Amino acid sequence: MSSVKSASELLAARDARQELLERALAAGRPALLFISLNLPGPDKSPPGARLLFRCTFERIAESFPGSLLLSRERDALGHYALRALDVEPLAAKRLCVGIEESHPAARLVDLDIYAPRRGQVGRAALGLPPRRCLLCGQPAVDCMRSKRHPPASVIAQAHELLTRPAP
């Protein structure tokens, strides 16, 4: 079975994740942590992705010992988990950024913090710059929007990062 999914499967997975997040936010927890991998290209489970997710999942459980696992699944977008945190959202985001920057392969990890009244807590809330492109170091969002790099080059770099020992 191929791990490459159709556009409709990817969109359906994104919608289901959003619905899960909205239900969890409505429950009124102080903060939620959505754990996923940000892998370019249509294959969301290339070699090394499962190991990276598992290592990150374990590190999050150690870093947030009082957290409650709400969901851990795999869909067309790959592995993901949702944890409820009993910590202040900015403090949680600061710790998550440290994890995302702790290892070259961790650059492929997305640790998104959400708070009920505030929505997603981004790096800007901490005065930090946006995530950097895997290839050139410029803001990744700018490179994606301008299609600065051939998709195959970005995918190859991500796959190279996945071959390195997990964080």
What pLDDT, on the 0 to 100 scale, is given for residue 3?
Answer: 63
pLDDT reported for residue 50: 94
The pLDDT assigned to 29 comes to 83
Please tell me the predicted confidence (pLDDT) of residue 59. Answer: 95
Global confidence as pTM: 0.91
Q: 52: which residues sit within 8 A by CB, 6+ positions away? A: 37, 105, 106, 108, 109, 162, 166, 167
The DSSP code sequence of 52-109 is: HHHHHHHHHHHHSTT-EEEEEEEETTEEEEEEEE-S-HHHHHHHHHHHHTSSGGGGGE
Total residue length of the chain: 167
Is residue 79 within 8 A of residue 50, CB to CB? The reply is yes
d(CA 25, CA 10): 23
Decide: 52 and 37 in contact? Cβ < 8 Å: yes
Per-residue pLDDT tens, the chain, 167 aa: give them.
446 678 899 999 999 999 999 999 998 888 999 999 999 988 999 999 999 999 999 999 999 999 999 999 999 999 999 999 989 999 999 999 999 999 999 999 999 999 988 899 999 999 999 999 999 989 999 999 999 999 999 999 999 999 975 55
- Residues whose CB is less than 8 angstroms from the CB of residue 39 and which lie 6 or more positions away in sequence, other chains included: 46, 49, 78, 108, 158
Q: In the chain, what are the domains? A: 7-162 (3.30.70)
| 50 vs 78: CA distance, rounded Å | 9
